[in-house]
């Protein structure tokens, strides 16, 4: 899959995540690449909605990871403060790359060498203006 989408509002960004839900399977790793405030967590909120998660999805920034239950488990990792796969292993998060069940969405994957390489889907978000984003989705 190689697709470019322009999201003009946060609702459209969330809808991109909703539309990803039907194609993810157990063991899928999604890398979300984009600057601060680009809509990475908003896209994950949509993915959660598409996976029938009923909990409120928030950024895992200070916890490193959050897990939600829906049609399948959604593991949401924020790697911004992580410097290595070893550091993820110390807290058990390396087991989510790939997960044995569910899908793992990783924000800031480029901060940890090796995450992008194990990703099944890579999503690059580019700021076009205050609201609009160019979203490039690649992978399978």
Q: Tell me the pLDDT tens digit for each residue of 71-117.
A: 999 999 999 888 888 888 888 888 888 888 999 999 999 888 778 78
More confident residue, 109 or 134: 134
CA–CA dist 111, 91 (Å, integer) = 17
Reading the block at residue 108, the tokens are: 């800031």
3-state secondary structure of 124: strand
> Parallel, antiparallel, or unpaired: how do β-strands 65-68 and 74-78 relate?
antiparallel
Could you give phi then psi for residue 125, rounded to 5 degrees? -115, 125
pLDDT band for position 128 (50/70/90)?
very high
pLDDT band for position 6 (50/70/90)?
very high
In sequence order, what DSSP letters do the residues of the chain get, joined into one string? -EEEEEE-SHHHHHHHHHHHGGG--TTEEEEEE--TTSSHHHHHHHHHHHTT--SPP---TTTSEEEE-SSS-EEEEE-TT---HHHHHHTTGGGGSS-SSSEEEEESGGGSTTHHHH-SEEEEEEE-SSS-EEEEEEE-
The CATH superfamily of 2-139 is P-loop containing nucleotide triphosphate hydrolases (3.40.50.300)
More confident residue, 68 or 62: 68
Q: Where are the domains of the chain?
A: 2-139
């Amino acid at each position: 899959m190689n697709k470019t989408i322009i999201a003009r509002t946060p609702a459209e960004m969330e809808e991109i995540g909703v539309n990803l839900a039907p194609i993810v399977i157990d063991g899928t790793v999604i890398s979300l690449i984009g600057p601060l405030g680009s809509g990475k967590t908003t896209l994950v909120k949509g993915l959660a909605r598409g996976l029938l998660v009923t909990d409120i999805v928030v950024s895992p920034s200070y916890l490193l990871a959050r897990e939600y239950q829906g049609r399948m488990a959604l593991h949401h990792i924020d790697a911004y403060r992580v410097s290595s796969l070893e550091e993820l292993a110390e807290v058990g998060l390396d087991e989510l790359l790939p997960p044995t069940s569910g899908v793992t969405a990783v924000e800031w994957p480029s901060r940890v060498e090796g995450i992008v390489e194990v990703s099944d889907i890579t999503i690059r978000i580019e700021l076009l203006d205050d609201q609009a984003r160019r979203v490039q989705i690649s992978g399978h």
